[in-house]
Structure 1
């Protein structure tokens, strides 16, 4: 729960600190500008609110690791929801409208998470999770998207160290393999998910694991 609060609060602050011209810059998500990513974050915040307001009576069917599915190929942008996100982002017109909407819905999602009982069972995507596991999913999601947000903004602050460490732990569990200890948490996430190509030295350290990367998760 604390990891979610730290990561989510830092992501909201990163969006709030964006200059208007930053919204037209590319993000770390292939094919998306920063404005498209922020629009996606609005949808993420809505997801958190909807899921926390959807209690379930049955036992959990997945956890923070099994939530994720590893794809064989990266997204092409042809997915209808991805295409809709780009159109929605453009429809906002002014950057301040996107910032306002994300701050409004994002702060509500943060409050709802803080009020939710950790052991409460909730449902999303036809699966059941405990609140703790569901919010852990969003530690990885928000940390990766924070990195995407600042990919071309060298002066922007990185995600909090605790969130980076927890996100790395989750990605390693998804992979079933630990990243080399020489990798920083940030580099493990960027290389592990294909957001950055590994150097020759990193490839050598990864060994056989390098052949399984990147992990395209969604």
Structure 2
């Protein structure tokens, strides 16, 4: 729960620090500009709010790791939902409006997370999780998208180190294998999810694990 708040607060702060011209930069998400990614974060924040007030009576069917479904098809930005996000983001026109909407909905999502009982069961996408596991899953979402946000902004504030380390551990569980100790936590996140290709030396160090990459999470 604490890492959720740290990851989300850091991401919201990074968006608040963006200059208007930064919204037209490329993000780390295929086919999306920074403005498109920020619009996606608005939708994500809405999902958090909806899920935390959608109680479930049955036993959990997923946890913070198994919540993520792995595909072998990297996103291209052409998916209908992705295309919708692009159109929604363009409709804002003024980046200040998009910032305001994210701050408004995002702050509410943050407060809802702080107030949530981690043991209650919630439903989303036909899954049942405890609220604690659901919010832990979103540490991965926020941390990866923080890296996406600053992909073309090398001087921007980075996600909290403890969140990056947590996500490394989650990705290792998803992959079913630890990543080499020579990889920094950030490099694991970028290489494991296909946000950058491994170098020849990194690929050699990955060994058989390289065949499992990238982990396309959805």
1:142 aligns with 2:142: yes
Q: Which residue of 2 aligns with 1:173?
A: 173
Q: Which residue of 1 aligns with 2:30?
A: 30
1:71 aligns with 2:71: yes
Q: Deviations over 1:165-215 (max 9, x none)?
A: 111111111111111111111000000001011111111111111121111
Q: Which residue of 1 aligns with 2:115?
A: 115
Note the aligned Cα RMSD (angstroms). Answer: 0.7
Query: Does the aligned pair in 1 maintain the 2:72–2:214 contact within 8 Å?
Result: no
Q: Deviations over 1:96-152 (max 9, x none)?
A: 000000000001000000000010100000110001110011000000000000000
1:157 offset after TM fit, Å? 1.1
How far apart, CA to CA, are the structure 1 residues paired with 2:39 and 2:73? 24
1:77 offset after TM fit, Å? 2.2
How far apart, CA to CA, are the structure 2 residues paired with 1:80 and 1:204? 37
| Large movers: runs of 4+ above 2 Å | none
How far apart, CA to CA, are the structure 2 residues paired with 1:93 and 1:21? 12
Gapped regions of structure 2 (runs ≥ 5): none
SS class of match (1:75): coil
SS class of match (2:11): helix
Q: Which residue of 1 aligns with 2:7?
A: 7
How far apart, CA to CA, are the structure 2 residues paired with 1:81 and 1:213? 24
1:76 offset after TM fit, Å? 2.5
Gapped regions of structure 1 (runs ≥ 5): none
SS class of match (1:128): strand
SS class of match (1:146): helix
How far apart, CA to CA, are the structure 2 residues paired with 1:104 and 1:170? 29
Q: Which residue of 1 aligns with 2:105?
A: 105
Q: Which residue of 1 aligns with 2:54?
A: 54
How far apart, CA to CA, are the structure 2 residues paired with 1:210 and 1:126? 31
TM-score computed with the length of structure 2 as normaliser: 0.98
1:92 aligns with 2:87: no
